[in-house]
């Protein structure tokens, strides 16, 4: 039976669920997406923020009975998160909670599309990682990446290539990974101190770095978070992997369509 369509969006959703209020990575500003898609698809449509969808998907995959609380951090072209407490996604007063991508970790850092400087997303997103590698190559650093580009312009360099180079043991790529995990570690340490979570899950395309990213982030959190919450938190990679966001979007439509999932979601 086709119940409807859950759409995960990398941006904020309005309180009525109809509009993508803004999505910096898509350069969308107040797009009235839900009614538009519902009319076109002739079915129920639910919009959900991508970070929240990923958190729900991870929770569903891990089994709600065994995991009531988690923070999911989505690492990709954009950076977002979903905060789940007692099986419930924290929405905030305006459904705007979960914007870790705009947590300011370096006030003297790069300008963000939101207007602030040094938001986490400007330092660890896919484009930010690629730009750091491009700048280092321009400055003359030796790296495997130069060979992989095989004469193409530096614009062809992607975060995925930097991740692959790190996995191949390239010094520059490993340095960029350490910087990236350092910034991520600042943000996670802030969350750990603020919320005392049981579990922090790292997911999205950057989880391609696997244990390299995980262990470097764990080290950064060890250095920065307070003793008590730091000892209890587990920082892990997503178990659900690539399907996490899709699972979460499906969970949203299931909740609306049939209450197959019990109260709380
Ligand atoms: Zn920002």
Return the closest-CA partner of residue 213 out of 164, 252, 253, 251. 164
The average pLDDT across 106-125 equals: 96
CA 100 – ligand 1 centroid, Å: 9
pLDDT in tens, 24-67: 888 888 999 999 999 999 988 999 999 999 999 999 888 866 77
pTM of this structure: 0.89
CA 89 – ligand 1 centroid, Å: 22
Cβ pair 49, 80 in contact under 8 A = yes
CA 261 – ligand 1 centroid, Å: 34
CA 149 – ligand 1 centroid, Å: 30
The average pLDDT across 59-76 equals: 85
CA 24 – ligand 1 centroid, Å: 9
CA 187 – ligand 1 centroid, Å: 13
Tokens representing 166 are 């790190």
* E strand intervals along 98-249: 199-203, 234-237
DSSP 3-state of 244: helix
DSSP 104: B
Going by DSSP bridges, is the β-strand pair 45-49/5-9 parallel, antiparallel, or unpaired? parallel
Tokens representing 221 are 């959190």
Q: What angle do CA 85, 90, 95 make, to 5 degrees?
A: 175
Cβ pair 214, 237 in contact under 8 A = yes
């Amino acid at each position: 039976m086709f119940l409807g369509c859950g759409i995960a969006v990398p941006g904020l959703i309005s309180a009525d669920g109809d509009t993508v209020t803004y999505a910096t990575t898509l350069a969308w500003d107040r797009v009235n997406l839900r009614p538009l898609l519902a009319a076109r698809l002739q079915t129920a449509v639910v919009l959900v923020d991508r970070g929240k969808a990923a958190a729900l998907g991870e929770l569903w995959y891990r089994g709600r009975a065994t995991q009531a609380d988690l923070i999911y951090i989505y690492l990709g072209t954009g950076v977002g998160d979903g905060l789940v407490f007692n099986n419930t996604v924290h929405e905030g007063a305006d459904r705007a909670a979960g914007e870790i991508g705009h947590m300011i970790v370096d006030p003297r850092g790069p300008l963000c599309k939101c207007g602030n400087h040094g938001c986490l997303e400007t330092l660890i997103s896919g484009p930010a990682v690629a730009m750091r590698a491009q700048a280092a190559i321009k400055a003359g650093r030796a790296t495997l990446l130069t060979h992989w580009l095989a004469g193409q312009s530096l614009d062809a360099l992607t975060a995925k290539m930097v991740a692959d180079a790190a996995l191949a043991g390239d010094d520059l790529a490993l340095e960029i990974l350490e910087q990236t995990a350092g910034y991520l570690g600042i943000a996670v340490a802030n969350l750990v101190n603020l919320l005392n979570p049981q579990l922090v899950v790292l997911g999205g395309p950057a989880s391609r770095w696997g244990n390299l990213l995980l262990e470097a982030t764990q080290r950064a959190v060890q250095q920065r978070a307070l003793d008590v919450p730091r000892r209890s938190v587990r920082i892990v990679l997503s178990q659900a992997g690539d399907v996490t966001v899709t699972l979460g979007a499906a969970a949203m439509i299931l909740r609306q369509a049939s209450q197959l999932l019990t109260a709380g979601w």
